[in-house]
């Protein structure tokens, strides 16, 4: 089930209307902190654990709807944790966190059961998007909820990655897509450049802050080109998207 909050944010809820529960497992405190914050912001209930045993125990009592699991834990390897988690929660979808260079390693089969993974360093939008996808498909949330964001005559399909405005298809690059998704998930709401940078770029991004301006500019060319603009600048505050009307 999805509801729309007063701010215009669309929230994912369980069939009984209670908030979605997510367990975050990583040994680096900075990562669990970062993720907990971002996921709480989605309106979800978060519990975190720093090792495999903690994870298994937390899963048992917290009974999460999804798990974010670092593959590199100090006490157990990722697959063992997975096995034990599954003993208690056979259907829980898992989002794995892996190091970029370990991808080839032993990831075989991880995406097979509808689970998914992201590589570190990740962007929060990516984690949130994938988690939403997993939860949506797992049936913990209402299956009828679909994957299309709509703002005015602008649509963005998270499954097919298709974007249209007024029916015309628009091709976006990966980063443009993520940026637009973030804007569209927060319509009519001013998002600061810092917020955007934190959400859309990976957490270790060390570049110039004007990439955001740059990508806003790219998006405008593709989305607002020759039409009533939907992306607006609030000088000194940030950007927002809203229906052209």
Which stretches of the chain bind its own copies, using CB under 8 A?
5-7, 29-30, 33-34, 36-38, 40-41, 46, 79, 82-83, 86, 90-91, 103-104, 107-115, 117, 124, 137, 143-147, 159-162, 173-174, 188-190, 192, 194-195, 197-199, 203-206, 209, 234-237, 240, 242
Taking CB within 5 to 8 Å according to partner kind, which of DNA, its own copies, none is near residue 91? its own copies
The two tokens of residue 118 are 């992201």
Q: Is 101 near DNA (CB under 7 A)?
A: no
Using DSSP's 3-state secondary structure scheme, residue 226 falls into coil
Q: Which of residues 107-136 bind DNA (CB under 7 A)?
A: none
The two tokens of residue 159 are 């499954």
Q: Is 206 near DNA (CB under 7 A)?
A: yes
Contact 61, 85 (CB under 8 A): no
Q: How far apart are CA 65 and CA 59, in angstroms?
A: 10
Q: How far apart are CA 116 and CA 96, in angstroms?
A: 6
Q: Is 174 near DNA (CB under 7 A)?
A: yes
Nearer to DNA, 102 or 237 (CB): 237
- The least distance separating DNA from the CB of residue 208, rounded to whole angstroms, comes to 4
Alpha helices in 99-145 (DSSP H): 103-106, 124-138
Total residues contacting DNA by CB under 7 A comes to 24
Q: How far apart are CA 193 and CA 236, in angstroms?
A: 10
Nearer to DNA, 2 or 175 (CB): 175
Q: Which of 27, 51, 157, 213 binds DNA (CB under 7 A)?
A: 213
Q: Is 211 near DNA (CB under 7 A)?
A: yes
Q: Which of 201, 223, 230, 241 binds DNA (CB under 7 A)?
A: 201
Contact 6, 182 (CB under 8 A): no
Cis ω before 239 (30° cut-off from 0): no
What phi-psi label fits residue 163: left (phi over 0), alpha (psi between -120 and 50 degrees) or beta? beta
Residue numbers at the binding site for DNA (CB under 7 A): 171, 173-176, 193, 201, 205-208, 210-211, 213-214, 216-217, 220, 233-238
């Amino acid at each position: 089930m999805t509801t729309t909050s007063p701010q215009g944010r669309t929230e994912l809820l369980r069939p009984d209307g209670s908030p979605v529960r997510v367990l975050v497992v990583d040994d680096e405190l900075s990562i669990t902190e970062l993720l907990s914050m971002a996921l709480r912001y989605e309106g979800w209930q978060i519990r975190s654990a720093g090792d495999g045993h903690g994870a298994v125990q937390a899963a048992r009592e917290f009974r999460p709807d999804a798990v974010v699991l670092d593959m590199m834990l100090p006490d157990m390897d990722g697959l063992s944790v997975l096995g034990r988690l599954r003993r208690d929660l056979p259907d829980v979808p898992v989002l794995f966190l892996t190091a970029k260079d370990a991808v080839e390693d032993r990831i075989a089969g991880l995406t097979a059961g509808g689970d998914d993974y992201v590589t570190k360093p990740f962007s929060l939008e990516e984690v949130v998007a994938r988690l939403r996808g997993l939860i949506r498909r797992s049936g913990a949330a209402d299956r009828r909820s679909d994957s299309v964001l709509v703002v005015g005559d602008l649509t963005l399909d998270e499954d097919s990655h298709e974007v249209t405005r007024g029916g015309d298809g628009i091709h976006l690059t990966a980063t443009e897509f993520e940026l637009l998704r973030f804007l569209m998930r927060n319509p009519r709401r001013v998002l600061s450049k810092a917020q955007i940078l934190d959400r859309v770029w990976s957490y270790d991004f060390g570049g110039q802050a004007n990439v955001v301006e740059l990508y806003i500019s790219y998006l405008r060319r593709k989305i607002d080109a020759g039409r009533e603009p939907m992306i607006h600048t609030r000088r000194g505050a940030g950007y927002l998207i809203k229906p052209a009307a």
